[in-house]
Amino acid sequence: MFAFWSHLLPVIKLYLLGLKVLLTQLFSRPFRLPVMPRQDGKVAIVTGGGSGIGYEVVRHMARLGVHVIIVEFKKLDLASLQSVHQFVQSFKQRRLPLHILVNNAGVMLVPEGRTEDGSEQHFAVNYLGHFLLTWLLLDTLKDAGKCGLFSRVVNVSSSAHRIGKIRLHDLNSRQGYSAHAAYCQSKLAQLLFSSHLHQELQRGGFPVTSCAVDPGMVDTALYRHLWTPLRLAQSALARLLLRTPAEGAATVLHAALSPALEGECGGGYWADGCRQMTTPPTFDPQLQLSLWETSLQLLGLQ
């Protein structure tokens, strides 16, 4: 009975949350990105930049003159720690600066499966791979930032973090798998990471900020693993209820590029172009630290 509810509850919670977001979107206008100045000379890495929200982020950045790295090198597979290491190594060999890192790539509701490193897919791709990528690129981000022009790490999370639970003793869902709970956990983990990273950077006096962004519910391939009847309903109503990928990219671009946010966006959670309050666990310093230290251990970085 307990196992049944522990599987069903995350499903109910996630769909109720989705319904609430959809209704809010129906009665509100999407955030419109203000006109941005040219950004020539800046270098950005955008994970998952080949489709969906990431593609729109890349397109807009490139139009403003940013040198954007998507998959210029070998494929960056965030589900493989070795691939992340290799990607960073090839990037560093080019001796380019790095001003913006957008941790955007993601998977949702994928069937149970393990990465080559033995991690659960949502946890690995959405969170741990990005943790490692950011960690390995921190020195480059610090070198490129300066007073009045900080480098920025933007973590693309989701409102799903609000119902996420961090299972510190079972981050990889070995004791039971719920795709819904795993997605929500990974999105909460991104926020905890983003906030803790920002505090560490501030404490060290480094010219780098880190923030988290919710793009809203957006019509992309992310929903391909949704239960078929829901997926069909979703595609039928997409135009009415969902944001377009360009609209979803607006807050991400705002956080990554906006001069108005210089020194302002760090540590925060951004949705619809504004800094927003969110759930208490997100700001729990003990939870942030425990997840940070466990992640370092999992990555063999301590």
Ligand X SMILES: NC(=O)c1ccc[n+]([C@@H]2O[C@H](COP(=O)([O-])OP(=O)(O)OC[C@H]3O[C@@H](n4cnc5c(N)ncnc54)[C@H](OP(=O)(O)O)[C@@H]3O)[C@@H](O)[C@H]2O)c1
Residues near ligand X (CB under 6 A) = 47-48, 50-54, 76-79, 104-108, 125-126, 156, 158, 215, 217-218, 220-222
116 vs 139 by CB, closer to ligand X: 116
Q: How far is the CB of 294 from ligand X (least distance, A)?
A: 21
79 vs 141 by CB, closer to ligand X: 79
Q: Which of 55, 127, 177, 183 is catalytic?
A: 183
Q: State the DSSP string of 36-92.
A: PPP-TT-EEEETTTTSHHHHHHHHHHHHTT-EEESSSSS---TT-HHHHHHHHHHHH
Q: Exposure pattern of 96-105 as b/e (b: 16+ CB <10 Å)? A: eebbbbbbbb
What is the distance between the alpha carbons of residues 111 and 16, in angstroms, rounded to a whole number? 21
What amino acid is encoded at 259 in this protein? P
What is the distance between the alpha carbons of residues 184 and 9, in angstroms, rounded to a whole number? 12
Residues 154 and 252: beta-carbon distance below 8 Å: yes
What is the distance between the alpha carbons of residues 291 and 135, in angstroms, rounded to a whole number? 14
78 vs 138 by CB, closer to ligand X: 78
Q: How far is the CB of 48 from ligand X (least distance, A)?
A: 3
Is 183 labeled as catalytic in the residue annotation? yes
What is the distance between the alpha carbons of residues 89 and 106, in angstroms, rounded to a whole number? 22
Q: How far is the CB of 152 from ligand X (least distance, A)?
A: 17
Residues 120 and 177: beta-carbon distance below 8 Å: yes
Residue nearest to ligand X (CB): 52
Residues 213 and 251: beta-carbon distance below 8 Å: yes
DSSP designation for 277: -
248 vs 266 by CB, closer to ligand X: 248
Q: How far is the CB of 255 from ligand X (least distance, A)?
A: 13
Residues 68 and 120: beta-carbon distance below 8 Å: no
220 vs 258 by CB, closer to ligand X: 220
55 vs 150 by CB, closer to ligand X: 55
Q: What share of the chain is helix, strand, coil (3-state, %, to 5)?
A: 55, 10, 35
Q: How far is the CB of 123 from ligand X (least distance, A)?
A: 12
Q: How far is the CB of 63 from ligand X (least distance, A)?
A: 18
Q: In terms of Cα–Cα distance, which of 242, 271, 239, 237 is closest to 254? A: 271
Question: Catalytic amino acids?
Answer: 183
